[in-house]
Structure 1
Amino acid sequence: MKTKKQATIGHALIPIFVLVSSLFVGIVYLGTDAHIPILIAIIVAAAVGIWGLGYTWGEIEKGAIETIQMSMQAILILMVIGTVVGSWILSGTVPAMIYYGLQILSPGIFLVATAIICAIVSLATGSSWTTAGTVGIALMGVGQGLGMPAYIVAGAVVSGAYFGDKISPLSDTTNLAPAMAGSTLFEHIKYMFWTTIPSFTIALILYGIIGARYAGSQLDTSNINVILDGIAANFNISPILFLPPVIVIALVVMKVPALPGLISGTVVGGIFAAVFQGAGLGDIINTAHYGFEIESGVEMVDELLNRGGLDSMMWTVSLILLAMTFGGIMERTGMLHSIAAAILKLANNTGSLVTATILTSIAINILAADQYLAIVIPGRMYKDAYDEMGLEPRLLSRTLEDGGTLTSALIPWNTCGAYMSSVLLVSPLAYAPYAFLNLINPIVAIIYGFTGFSIKKQEPKAE
Structure 2
Amino acid sequence: MKEKKQATIGLALIPILVLIVSLFVGIVYLGTDAHMPILIAIIVAASVGIFALGFEWSEIEKGAIETIQMSMQAILILMVIGTVVGTWILAGTVPAMIYYGLKILSPGIFLVATLIICSIVSLATGSSWTTAGTVGIALMGVGQGLGMPPAIVAGAIVSGAYFGDKISPLSDTTNLAPAMAGSTLFEHIKYMLYTTVPSYLIAMVLYAIIGSRYAGNQLDTSNIQIIMDGIAANFNISPLLFIPPLVVIVMVIMKMPALPGLLFGTILGGLFAAIFQGSSFGDILNTAHYGFEIESGVAMVDELLNRGGLDSMMWTVSLILLAMVFGGIMERTGMLHAIAAVILKMAKSTGSLVLATVLTSIAINILAADQYLAIVIPGRMYKATYDERGLEPRLLSRTLEDAGTLTSSLIPWNTCGAYMQSVLLVSPLAYAPYAFLNIINPIVAVFYGYTGITIKKPSTAK
Interval of TM-score (by shorter of Structure 1 and Structure 2): over 0.9
**Deviation sequence 1:14-37 (CA, Å, 0-9, x none):** 111111111111111111111111
State the partner residue of 2:45: 45
State the partner residue of 2:192: 192
> What's the offset of the Cα at 1:315?
0.6
Aligned AA (1:247): V
State the partner residue of 1:341: 341
> What's the offset of the Cα at 1:79?
0.3
**Is the 2:364–2:373 contact (alpha carbons within 8 Å) kept by the matching residues of 1?**
yes
> What's the offset of the Cα at 1:216?
1.1
> What's the offset of the Cα at 1:102?
0.2
> What's the offset of the Cα at 1:213?
1.1
Runs of 4+ with >3 A deviation: 457-462
Count of matched residue positions in the alignment of Structure 1 and Structure 2:
462
**Is the 2:391–2:461 contact (alpha carbons within 8 Å) kept by the matching residues of 1?**
no
> What's the offset of the Cα at 1:456?
1.4
**Is the 2:390–2:461 contact (alpha carbons within 8 Å) kept by the matching residues of 1?**
no
Aligned AA (1:447): F
SS at match of 2:407: helix
**Deviation sequence 1:22-69 (CA, Å, 0-9, x none):** 111111111111111111111111111111111111111111111111
> What's the offset of the Cα at 1:7?
1.0
Aligned AA (1:289): H
Q: Distance in 2 between matches of 1:433 and 1:281?
A: 48
Q: How does 1:41-440 map to 2 (within 5 A)?
A: 41-440=41-440
SS at match of 1:50: helix
Q: Distance in 2 between matches of 1:31 and 1:237?
A: 40
Aligned AA (1:35): H
**Is the 1:402–1:441 contact (alpha carbons within 8 Å) kept by the matching residues of 2?**
yes
Q: Distance in 1 between matches of 2:28 and 2:432?
A: 20
> What's the offset of the Cα at 1:388?
1.1
**Is the 1:82–1:309 contact (alpha carbons within 8 Å) kept by the matching residues of 2?**
yes
Q: Distance in 2 between matches of 1:425 and 1:328?
A: 38
Q: Distance in 2 between matches of 1:208 and 1:461?
A: 39
**Deviation sequence 1:145-200 (CA, Å, 0-9, x none):** 11111111111111111111101111111111111111111011000100000001
**Is the 1:392–1:457 contact (alpha carbons within 8 Å) kept by the matching residues of 2?**
no
Q: Distance in 2 between matches of 1:419 and 1:322?
A: 22
SS at match of 1:104: coil
**Is the 1:358–1:442 contact (alpha carbons within 8 Å) kept by the matching residues of 2?**
yes
Q: Distance in 2 between matches of 1:256 and 1:334?
A: 37
**Is the 1:50–1:57 contact (alpha carbons within 8 Å) kept by the matching residues of 2?**
yes
State the partner residue of 1:7: 7
Q: Distance in 2 between matches of 1:29 and 1:161?
A: 27
Per the alignment, do residues 393 and 102 of structure 1 end up closer, same or farther by CA in structure 2, a change over 3 Å counting? Answer: same
> What's the offset of the Cα at 1:459?
7.5
Q: Distance in 1 between matches of 2:443 and 2:154?
A: 21
Q: Distance in 1 between matches of 2:459 and 2:230?
A: 53
Aligned AA (1:422): S
Aligned AA (1:368): A
State the partner residue of 2:450: 450
> What's the offset of the Cα at 1:422?
1.0
Per the alignment, do residues 366 and 461 of structure 1 end up closer, same or farther by CA in structure 2, a change over 3 Å counting? Answer: closer
Q: Distance in 2 between matches of 1:461 and 1:96?
A: 42
TM-score scaled by structure 2? 0.99
Q: Distance in 2 between matches of 1:29 and 1:366?
A: 16
Q: Distance in 2 between matches of 1:240 and 1:79?
A: 26
> What's the offset of the Cα at 1:458?
6.1
Q: Distance in 2 between matches of 1:125 and 1:117?
A: 12
Structure 1: runs of 5 or more not aligned: none
Q: Distance in 2 between matches of 1:226 and 1:203?
A: 28
**Is the 1:181–1:394 contact (alpha carbons within 8 Å) kept by the matching residues of 2?**
yes
Q: Distance in 2 between matches of 1:243 and 1:461?
A: 37
Q: Distance in 1 between matches of 2:305 and 2:377?
A: 32
**Is the 1:383–1:396 contact (alpha carbons within 8 Å) kept by the matching residues of 2?**
yes
> What's the offset of the Cα at 1:253?
1.2
Q: Distance in 1 between matches of 2:223 and 2:459?
A: 53
Q: Distance in 2 between matches of 1:50 and 1:460?
A: 41
**Deviation sequence 1:294-325 (CA, Å, 0-9, x none):** 00000000000000000000011111111111
Q: Distance in 2 between matches of 1:383 and 1:116?
A: 34
Aligned AA (1:26): G
Q: Distance in 2 between matches of 1:125 and 1:328?
A: 30
> What's the offset of the Cα at 1:10?
1.3
**Once superposed, what is the RMSD of the aligned Cα atoms?**
1.1
Q: Distance in 2 between matches of 1:344 and 1:222?
A: 54
TM-score scaled by structure 1? 0.98
Q: Distance in 1 between matches of 2:329 and 2:17?
A: 15
**Deviation sequence 1:318-375 (CA, Å, 0-9, x none):** 1111111111111111111111111100000111111111111111111111111111
Aligned AA (1:102): L
Structure 2: runs of 5 or more not aligned: none
